[in-house]
Amino acid sequence: MKGNSARKAKKIAAHSVTYFFSVLIAILFIFPLVWMIVTSTKTEVQYAYDLGSLRTFLPNLKDLSTFFDNYGSVLTQYDIWKYALNSFAYAAAVVVGNVLINALAGYVMAKFSFPGKGFISFLIMFLLIVPVETTIIPLYSIVHNLGLSGTVLAVIMPPLVSVFNIFLFQQFFTNISKEYIEAAELDGASQLKIFSVIMIPLSMPIVATVATFAFIGVWNDYIWPTMVLPSPQPGEWPLYPIQAALTTIQSIEGVTTGEVMASLVITSIPIFLIYVFAQKYIVEGIGAGGLKI
């Protein structure tokens, strides 16, 4: 009995240590984010007053009249909603195009036989291994020479195709029984119809994963849009997506710390929502990434 309670005490002590470290690490991990959100609700005066004390991590709940002021000015004065709308539009175009184009290619590679298939699958394997991370300058010169730079197409077209996504779809479709296709063929359905009515609905999990990652990729991209799109001009609808606009907002004269933080928070909200609601697909995507090697 005595030994049992001693063991229990030891266990509680061990758990306490674990919890203590967990909380400590959690504080270290999220204090910047807490500070970002809290500061986004403060006026410049309040921010300066709180700086250097623990109040800087706490919202000022005594005077709520200015609580959302920074959000108001970021939305109306700095037009961040226009940039956000741009980002949504680019992301939507890329998500739809990317899923369709790569699913189609993956489907053909998984289920059809045609002359030259060996060469195409070699090409896909080759491009999966070759590090293509450093080709941004040649890509820029190609886009520039095609006359696409300065247009929306320059942001939308390059991310439409992804060799890795083709590979993912191919893996997925390989596991789907060929009987579905044969039955539909007997009914006289066209290949495109089989693809859109049977294959895409069957592959919803992988479609969701690819779509989620494509959205995050486009939403978070910063360097490429700033290379190919003109910086915002007063009086015109800007072409910059939201990440690129953060640089613009930063450099506006007289912008307050609270306003900058508000723009950072607004930029992060959609990705936060995606991680909350599409978590399952993200974890699956990470798993699929692991399969790659």
Partner 1 sequence: MILTSVAIIGVFLLIFAVFVVKDLVFSKKGLLLKRFSFRETLCSYLMLLPAFALICVFVLLPIIYSLGYAFTDYYLLTPNQTKFVFLDNFKDIVTNIQNKGDMYNAIINTAKFVVFVVPLQIGMALGLALLVNKKLRGMGVFKVLYFAPVVISLTVTSFLWVRILGGGESGLLNSFLVKLGAKPVSFLYEPQQAMYWIILVSAWQGCGYQMLILLSGLKGIDNTLYEAAELDGANVFVKFSSVTMPGLRSVTTFVIITVFIGACKIMVQPMLMTGKQSFTITLNYLMYIEGYTYRWVGYSSAIALLMTIVIGAITFLQRYLLKEED
Residue (81 or 275) nearer to partner 1, CB: 275
* Sign of the four-CA dihedral 123, 128, 134, 136: positive
Q: What mask of x and - would describe binding to partner 1 in positions 94 to 113, judged by CB under 8 A?
A: -------xx-xx-xxx--xx
Closest approach, Cβ 128 to partner 1, in A, equals 11
Task: State which of positions 42-81 bind partner 1 (CB under 8 A).
Answer: 48, 51-53, 56
17 touches partner 1 (CB under 8 A): no
Task: State which of positions 223-282 bind partner 1 (CB under 8 A).
Answer: 223, 227, 243, 246-247, 250, 257, 260-261, 264, 267-268, 271-272, 275
Q: How far apart are CA 17 and CA 32, in angstroms?
A: 24
Contacts of 171 (CB under 8 A, 6+ apart): 106, 110, 288, 291
- C-beta separation of 232 from 246 below 8 A: no
Closest approach, Cβ 157 to partner 1, in A, equals 7
Q: How far apart are CA 232 and CA 202, in angstroms?
A: 43
Closest approach, Cβ 105 to partner 1, in A, equals 4
Residue (66 or 226) nearer to partner 1, CB: 226
What's the residue count for the chain? 293
* Sign of the four-CA dihedral 181, 184, 186, 188: negative
Q: How far apart are CA 178 and CA 185, in angstroms?
A: 11
Closest approach, Cβ 74 to partner 1, in A, equals 13
- Contact range with partner 1 by CB under 8 A, out of 19-27, 60-68, 69-77, 207-215: 19-27
